[in-house]
Structure 1
Amino acid sequence: MLSLRQIEAFQAVVESGSFHGAARRLGTTQPAISKRIAEMEAALGVVLFDRSRKQVTLTLAGEMLLPESRAMLDLRARMTNAVLDPTLFAGTVRIGVTELVALTFLPNWVSAVREAFPRLRLRPEVGLAGTFLRGLREAALDLAILPGQRPVEALLDSRPLGAVEMAWMRRPVAAAEAGPIPAAALSSHVVLAQSEGSGLQAAANAWLAEQGATPDVVLSSNSLSALCSLTIAGLGTALLPRARFAAQVVAGRLQEVTTEPALPPLPYWVVFRRDGLHRITGCMAELAEATADFARGDTL
């Protein structure tokens, strides 16, 4: 007879690509995962994985079983959610947010979540989108707020949070251009960029490549606040959220560099795993939609 623990192990091996990754995801040991899979194969009388390569792959029998295993785990999640009173949930939810979220609506969102789930423990982490997307895939995170393209994966659910207007900014110069400059003209600018793994920078790099712009990137940082300070100091041109740093423009410390075409708004998504916490994280996603405001918060 098959058990849910065996099916869970099977699904984890498929999603992580290895027995070691499945063990890490489920918080157990590799021998324990191997034992569950071996028991499952013995019960079914088939081999489910080709173990001859570094990354295990499904056999034909495994491919046939995969949709059924997913359906079984989805049913377990629905059964759990049907009887779970969210307000009584006392577990921990691991969250990843980018700096812009932390600087703007994170306090309001956390307050709303705490009011809805008074016994819930939150573990927020501030960092880069690339790291958080890997964390969601590997079950190291339960929910994250990410910029850029919407992740379309069977393992993940998502909700839109709107889009952020971005602007190229520099220290004010007396002989500023009268109107927009061709986007390709950014090639003559010294650019201050966000670090590798930044969703904002990935979108900027893709747009620059489309426009044929090849600016000289002399410095990168994982902090928007640091990039703003470096830009004010005259060390280069940086791509910054327009509303967030509008006060610096009004005060004469920053100046926008408008381009033709303009950089499109950067979409943000709240992304969460389709697992046993889906009902809780789904409610948290709705609260994020209700509180998202990328312009609020104290300015530098």
Structure 2
Amino acid sequence: MLTFKQIEAAYWISKLGSFHAAAKRLNTTQSTVSKRIAELEKYLSIEIFDRSNKTTQLTIKGRELIDDFVQMLDLQQNVVRRVGSDVSYAGRFRFGVTEMVALTWLPALIAEIKHLYPDIILEPKIDLTINLRQQMVTHRLDMVICPAPKSDNAFPTVQLDFLESEWMCNPALIRSSREIVSIERLMELPLLTYAEGSLLHLNLLQALAAIGIKPANTITCNSMIALAEMASAGLGITYLPTAYFSSYQEEGYLRPVRTNLVLPPLAYLAVHRNDAVSRRIAELAREACDFGLPRWRRQDEPAPSPPRAR
């Protein structure tokens, strides 16, 4: 007989790479996990895992089945979330966030979720908005926290906060922070911009194109931190979130640049599935949303204490 415990064991072995790691994650013994897989393979009359090497790998048939296993587990958890008590939810919750969320308030959100759902299994993913939204559509994520597109009626949403950004560069490139520099002059410098496919990159290029400007020298990068470091090194002009990178300005690595092209702030949303747990976690995201420096990086706040062993 096929059971969800067998399918769950196969999922975690494929994800973590070993029977031992899967047993630890499932809070059971390795022999129990091995027994579940043996029963599953016997029932299906196939080998799911190749045990001939040092590392456990899926067989060809196993790779074909694992996506079906994930869908079966998702369906099971959707049923539990719809008919059970959402406060007692102990299944997986997969959600995606952008880099700026990860750098700022993701730890606070995770702490709030774990406080409300102590037994929940969180699987956060950090990626570009375009990739996260595609994974939401294909049911690989339960919630996505990202900048709002122009229109989206496919899923329920919760309005979060706005992400303010501004032009910045090394102080040596533009001597005065009071001077208003034309965008034409700014674009004589290399443009350091966030990854292609990101909403920030798209909005920036569209705004420049609207006034007839095409940057001659563009360097794209999928890391905000790397952009800040390159700009600090004097490699060009960049457009970065104001609050988070204020420390770079305070320490003299970057300088704000006043210009005649200012983009509107990015409006962030929590896009979620229509069930009680997803709705509640989206509300927690609204409460936790803060694109400033994390409180433990602020000079007037103490570092967080490590969690006590229970």
Same fold (TM over 0.5): yes
In 2, the alpha carbon distance for the partners of 1:25 and 1:217 equals 44
The structural deviation recorded for 1:256 is: 1.2
Who is 1:91 aligned against?
91
Tell me the residue number matched to 1:27. 68
Which residue of 269, 279, 284 maps to 1:282?
279
> Secondary structure of 1:100's match?
helix
Once the two structures are superposed, residues 5-45 of structure 1 have per-residue CA deviations (whole angstroms, 9 ceiling, x without a partner) of xxxxxxxxxxxxxxxxxx9998379xxxxxxxxxxxxxxxx
- CA–CA distance in 2 between the matches of 1:240 and 1:150? 21
2:26 is matched with: none
Give the match's secondary structure for 2:231: helix
- Contact preservation (8 Å) 2:90, 2:121: yes
Which residue of structure 1 lines up, in the alignment, with residue 263 of structure 2?
263
Letter in 2 for 1:163: F
For residue 190 of structure 1, what is the aligned residue in structure 2?
190
**Unmatched 5+ stretches in structure 1:** 1-22, 30-76
Q: Secondary structure at the match of 2:209?
A: helix
- State the identity %: 30
Indicate the residue corresponding to 1:165 in structure 2. Answer: 164
How far does residue 218 in structure 1 lie from its aligned partner after superposition? 3.3
Per-residue CA distance 1:81-134 (angstroms, 9 max, x = gap): 664211211111111111111111101100000111111111011111111011
In the superposition, relative to structure 1, how do residues 233 and 115 fare at CA in structure 2: closer, same or farther (>3 Å)? Answer: same
In 2, the alpha carbon distance for the partners of 1:115 and 1:150 equals: 34
CA contact under 8 A between 2:186 and 2:237: conserved in structure 1? no
State yes or no: 1:129 paired with 2:129. Answer: yes
Change (3 A) 1:160 1:184: farther
Separation in 2 of the partners of 1:140 and 1:176?
48
Q: TM-score, normalised by structure 2?
A: 0.66
Displacement of 1:285: 0.6
**SS of the counterpart of 2:252?**
coil
Say whether the 8 Å CA contact 1:183–1:262 is kept in structure 2: no
2:220 is aligned with 1:223: no
Cα shift at 1:179: 3.1
Question: Runs of 5+ in structure 2 lacking a partner?
Answer: 1-63, 71-77, 299-310
2:156 counterpart SS class: strand
Q: What code does the residue aligned with 1:119 have?
A: D
> Does residue 291 of the first structure (1) align with residue 288 of the second (2)?
yes
Q: 1:153–1:184: structure 2 CA closer, same or farther, 3 Å change rule?
A: farther
Cα separation, 2, equivalents of 1:135 and 1:231: 32
User: In 2, Cα distance between the equivalents of 1:26 and 1:234?
Assistant: 46
In angstroms, what is the RMSD of aligned CA positions?
2.7
Superposition pairs of residues 1-300 of structure 1, within 5 angstroms: 27=68, 83-149=83-149, 151-154=151-154, 156-173=155-172, 175-176=175-176, 178-274=178-274, 278-297=275-294, 298=297
CA–CA distance in 2 between the matches of 1:160 and 1:266?
A: 12
Per-residue CA distance 1:220-267 (angstroms, 9 max, x = gap): 111111111111001111111011111111221101112224221111
The alpha carbon displacement at 1:159 in A equals: 1.2
Q: Which amino acid aligns with 1:92?
A: R
Relative distance call for 1:256 and 1:24 in structure 2 (3 A) is farther
CA distance in 1, matches of 2:177, 2:228: 21
Q: SS of the counterpart of 2:226?
A: helix
Aligned mates of 2:120, 2:151 — CA distance in 1: 26
The residue aligned with 1:45 is none
The count of residues paired between Structure 1 and Structure 2 equals 226
Q: Output the CA distance in 2 between the equivalents of 1:102 and 1:25.
A: 28
For residue 176 of structure 1, report the CA deviation from its aligned partner: 3.3
